[in-house]
Structure 1
Amino acid sequence: MTIFLRDTVGLPAWQSWLAGRVSALVPRFRRLAPCQLDSLEALDRLGVRLDTYARITVPTVLLSGDRSPAHLPERLDAIGRVMPDAERVVMPGRDHSADLRHPRQVAQLIEAQARKVRHLPG
């Protein structure tokens, strides 16, 4: 997990080291680690599939935080350039864990998008 967090997620080495140790000590995290690595391997096998995203016509919010590792917003920007009805939303002061640390804010953004898609009053 240390290598994954450093090289894939983009955490600083010291944070990766610490999170890797926590992952090894916490049984729930230890059980999830192989799943994370399997997921990464599956994504790597799929490769870059911007052509697939280009066929998605449902209005979509591509959500990130301004404190997310740089490669994540870059990937969302690439998807946003090809998706015909994508809206980029960047949450100030939030990182990749906004769904866990600020679930109400994320839920509000999802609800606002659902209202737009379903044409409901705000």
Structure 2
Amino acid sequence: MASVDVLSTGHGPGLVVLPGGTRRARHYQRMADALSGTYTVHVIERRGRGRSPAQGDDYGLDVEISDALEVLEETGSRQLFGHSYGGLVALHVALRTDLDRVIAYEPGVSVNGAIPWDWQPRFEQLLAEGKDARAMVQFLHGLDLMPSGPHVNAIAWVMQRATAEGRAVREVLPTIVRETGVMRELDSDGSRYAAITAPTLLLGGGRSPAYFHEILNVLVETIPNAKRVITPEFDHNAPDLDGPTAVAELIRA
């Protein structure tokens, strides 16, 4: 059995899904359901979530790659989808093994320092102080994933504390520390991704932060067999929250 928990649905060729930061496997259920008539979708519950192991002191990119390779082998899957941090992992898996296709939705690839990190010290401080809701707001504001300002800040704080979804997200906030550490360590000019041989579909949203567009620009010019599709109405959370069925259509096309 694979080292991590996997949620599977559908029938057809295998497609493995790697969730993004703070995301659980269940967040991709609607996308998986929309794909289930075409693929057997295997969504990995990445480490630090649910019944999968904790990240552990030895956590790093190689651990995530190993988990993905195990699931690919056990399920006989030849296609891999990754969202955000999961997209970063997916691209590095494609550097290690032959795939029929790799799909990355706004992968968390730090290219030429495009991703901002000045929010991180304050985030870690708030997390250490047990101020998890405020830490989450710091994380979202810092990466330009939600509007800023005192009014929005107060509403977000209340919502994240009050809702079940907010509580679920706060439970996995500690995983951000190690995952963003991996992203920062891998910052480069992006040239390493020229070694990806699999056909690569790069997806993004017109409403996402500008740095994701910078990243996709570099990747589509670097990966030999890459195609980029930007959907104007999508934001960074289209695969898991705002447009899973539409993202499934792009994957299936």
Q: TM-score per shorter chain, which class?
A: 0.7 to 0.9
Identify which of 196, 201, 209 aligns with 1:61: 201
Gap runs ≥5 in structure 2: 1-135
Q: CA deviation at 1:24?
A: 4.6
Which region of structure 1 is more displaced relative to structure 2, 4-13 or 85-94? Answer: 4-13
1:119 alignment partner in structure 2? none
Q: Deviations over 1:26-72 (max 9, x none)?
A: 32111021112321122112222612211112111110011111111
Where in structure 2 are the equivalents of 1:60-79 lying within 5 Å? 60-79=200-219
Matching residue of 2:248: 107
Query: 3-state DSSP class of the match of 1:57?
Result: coil
Query: Which whole-Å CA distance do the structure 2 matches of 1:69 and 1:80 have between them?
Result: 18
- CA distance 1:37–1:62, shift in 2 (3 Å): same
Counterpart of 1:82 in structure 2 is 222
Offset, 1:3: 2.3
How many equivalent pairs are there?
112
The amino acid across from 1:94 in the alignment is F
Following superposition, the deviation at residue 74 of structure 1 comes to: 1.2
The within-5 A match list for 1:23-34 is 23-25=160-162, 26-34=166-174
RMSD: 2.2
Counterpart selection for 1:38 from 178, 184, 189: 178
In structure 1, the gaps of 5 or more residues are 113-122
Taking the aligned partners of 2:174 and 2:252, their CA distance within structure 1 comes to 33
Structure 2 CA distance, aligned partners of 1:83 and 1:6?
31
User: Per the alignment, in what secondary structure is the counterpart of residue 84 of structure 1?
Assistant: coil
Deviation of 1:94 (Å): 1.1
| 2:200 partner letter | T
The 1:29/1:10 distance shift into structure 2, 3 A limit, reads closer
What is the TM-score when the length of structure 1 is the normalising length?
Answer: 0.77
CA separation in 1, counterparts of 2:211 and 2:250? 22
Question: Hey, which of these two has a bigger chunk of strand by percent?
Answer: 2
Distance of 2:146 and 2:201 partners within structure 1: 25
**Residue of 128, 146, 150 corresponding to 1:11:** 146
Aligned sequence identity (%): 34
Q: Secondary structure at the match of 1:93?
A: coil
